[in-house]
Amino acid sequence: ITTNTTEFFREPKHFDILRDRVLPGWIKVHAHEPKLRLWSAGCSSGEEPYTLAMVLSEFAENHPGFRFSILATDISIQVLEKARRAIYPEERVYQMSMELKRKYLLRSKDRQKKLVRIVAGLRNVVTFSRLNFMEEFRFDNPMDIIFCRNVMIYFDRATQERLLNKFCRHLRPDGHLFIGHSESLTGMELPLRQVAPTVYRRV
């Protein structure tokens, strides 16, 4: 399953919560750790992980010593190739502020094409990799934050619960999971506590 419906800063409330609540909370507790680890699961053509890279880069500017890594995975090799190229139609970036556009986007020299590209400095902080949720997978270290938004809607309820339990095994205690606004964990047996609409903390 892969989904290609995406844009930069989609469901913007999530990025506000990440910037204003989750990251300040993490740095208070983990100030001496080497880096925050974030996973964009079901990243499609890259808009979500690059948005996350912008949010984390902006946070890092105001918090010397804060470092992060972003893993972005999808089952589709084609969309991962598109994500690595990081070239997008201008309409995908309409939610971005002018300040962020100036900082993180390059405009096509051919103005007829109406294309933008993510700057190299931002491209370099995201690692793209193929991953199939239905197979067993493991990471060397647990994640601090997982974004898996608008992916589970394509699975039945039992598969969703199995998948979420897998995520929880790879999410450190007090780590955060963000799901899509149309998705729900109601009735599932999971080690998660809701802290905001569609935002959960691992217990």
CA angle 85–90–91, rounded 5-degree value: 120
Q: Which CATH architecture has domain 13-85+129-202?
A: 3-Layer(aba) Sandwich (3.40)
- The whole-number average pLDDT for the span 102-108 is 94
Backbone angles phi, psi at 7, to 5 degrees: -160, 170
pLDDT of 68-82, one tens digit each?
Answer: 999 999 999 999 999
Write down the pLDDT at residue 2: 46
State yes or no: pLDDT of 56 exceeds 90.
yes
pLDDT of 24-34, one tens digit each?
Answer: 999 999 988 87
Residue of higher predicted confidence among 134 and 71: 71
- What count of other Cβ atoms lies within 10 Å of the Cβ of residue 21? 14
User: Residue ranges of the domains in the chain?
Assistant: 13-85+129-202
Listed in sequence order, the residues at least 6 apart from 70 whose beta carbon sits closer than 8 Å to its beta carbon are: 38, 39, 40, 49, 52, 53, 56, 125, 126, 127
Q: Provide the mean pLDDT of the chain.
A: 93
Cβ–Cβ under 8 Å, residues 39 and 187: no
Write down the pLDDT at residue 5: 53
Write down the pLDDT at residue 101: 96
State yes or no: pLDDT of 60 exceeds 70.
yes
Q: How confident is the model at residue 6 (pLDDT cuts 50, 70, 90)?
A: low
Please indicate, yes or no, whether the overall pTM of this predicted structure exceeds 0.85: yes
